[in-house]
Amino acid sequence: MPTRKDYLRGPRIDPRPVTGKETVPELVENAFLAYNAGRLAEGCRLFTERMLEPEVTVGMSLTGAMTPAGLGMSTIIPLLEAGFIDWIVSTGANLYHDAHFGLGLTMHKGTPFIDDVALREEGVVRIYDIFFDYEVLLSTDAYVREVSARPEFQRPMSTAEYHYLLGGYILEREQALGITRKSVLGVAHRCSVPIYTSSPGDSSIGMNVAEQALAGSQLRFDVSADVNETSAIVFAAKVSGGKSGVLIIGGGSPKNFVLQTEPQIQEVLGISEKGHDYYLQLTDARPDTGGLSGATPAEAVSWGKVDPDQLPGMVVCYLDNTVGFPILAAYALAKRKPRPLKRLYDRRGAIMRQLTEAYLEAKADRDTRAEAATGGGAP
């Protein structure tokens, strides 16, 4: 049992006065000592010192209106280019609003204290304190429909395939406009980072694809491919002797989709596995109201989502993501050199074959044991 001396082994709380000359890492390490600042400091160290080791594959889930607020450009794109995020599950809305910037459309700082009826009359759309012209939506809708009608889109595909193709066209549009590094979709295409959407119909991208289906388009989102591909990414990371880490920005469906890869591998496919090795979440939700989607790190162990031997590598920061996420990124980019890009999108075929072979082997073993248990004959 721990003794009093054991409980008091932690560093003394004795920070230096803030001078205004600190770097982000210096501020985090000196002044973020307790409460959620303390958890954010722990998260910064977990992400930078352990999750960004070469053998770790990092998946990120993204919810909340992050890209309209500019976090795609300020925070996510630098992490993608540094090789700090290897695959993503995002809400469709974040990707739709991300496309505005790649198309040269603008969003503006506004105020939440406004008459929304007046905004509607003037054709201005509001996302809390972000304003933009209603024509931004119409222009983006038209672009999504025009691109999605092209021949290479006329087939069933995973959402990663769709976003990769769309990102390539957005890159071309950026080049034509003389702008760069504005769109997460475009940079993910360039870096071969697969981006999935757990609910592809729940966004304006899905709405426009659905409209085209009424007109005879053959484009369909293959949600089973999404489930299997994301599981294959995690399985490939672990079976090669590496580790899997998840960076969860917010919660909701993308969070569950990132985490369900391990139950899919273990429970459904029957392949022996233990769960994600590292778990870092930034959220303002609470577990006691159900808003944390039933998956604190400790609770996720019961589902097989998290390796129980790795709970010290799990941190939840209860704070505003628009504050915590840029601090986390700045800390990591200051403390860690870029990693070689894993280019997982390019490796999807090989990764899927690896998972399929392991599944068929596990299934054959289960069938053999079941047959032996029943005496080898039909009932």
Give the Cα separation of 40 and 29 in Å (integer). Answer: 10
Which one is catalytic: 255, 305, 335, 342? 305
Backbone CA torsion sign across 193, 194, 198, 204? positive
Give the chain's end-to-end CA distance (angstroms, integer): 55
Q: Are 184 and 76 in contact (CB under 8 A)?
A: yes
Q: Give Cα 190 to chain centroid, integer Å.
A: 17
Q: Give Cα 185 to chain centroid, integer Å.
A: 13
Closest CA to 132 of 65, 35, 45, 52: 65
Q: Are 107 and 136 in contact (CB under 8 A)?
A: yes
Closest CA to 330 of 15, 27, 17, 31: 27
Closest CA to 98 of 224, 187, 208: 187
Tell me the DSSP string of 147-174: HHTSGGGSSEE-HHHHHHHHHHHHHHHH
Entry field: residues in the chain: 379
3-class state of residue 2 by DSSP: coil
Give phi and psi for 133, each to the nearest 5: -70, 140
For residue 95, count CB atoms less than 10 angstroms from its CB and return exposed for 0-12, middle for 13-18, buried for 19 or more.
buried
Closest CA to 256 of 292, 310, 222, 298: 292
For residue 199, count CB atoms less than 10 angstroms from its CB and return exposed for 0-12, middle for 13-18, buried for 19 or more.
middle
Residues 6+ apart with CB under 8 A from 127: 65, 68, 69, 97
Whether 243 is a known active-site residue: answer no
Catalytic sites, residue numbers:
305
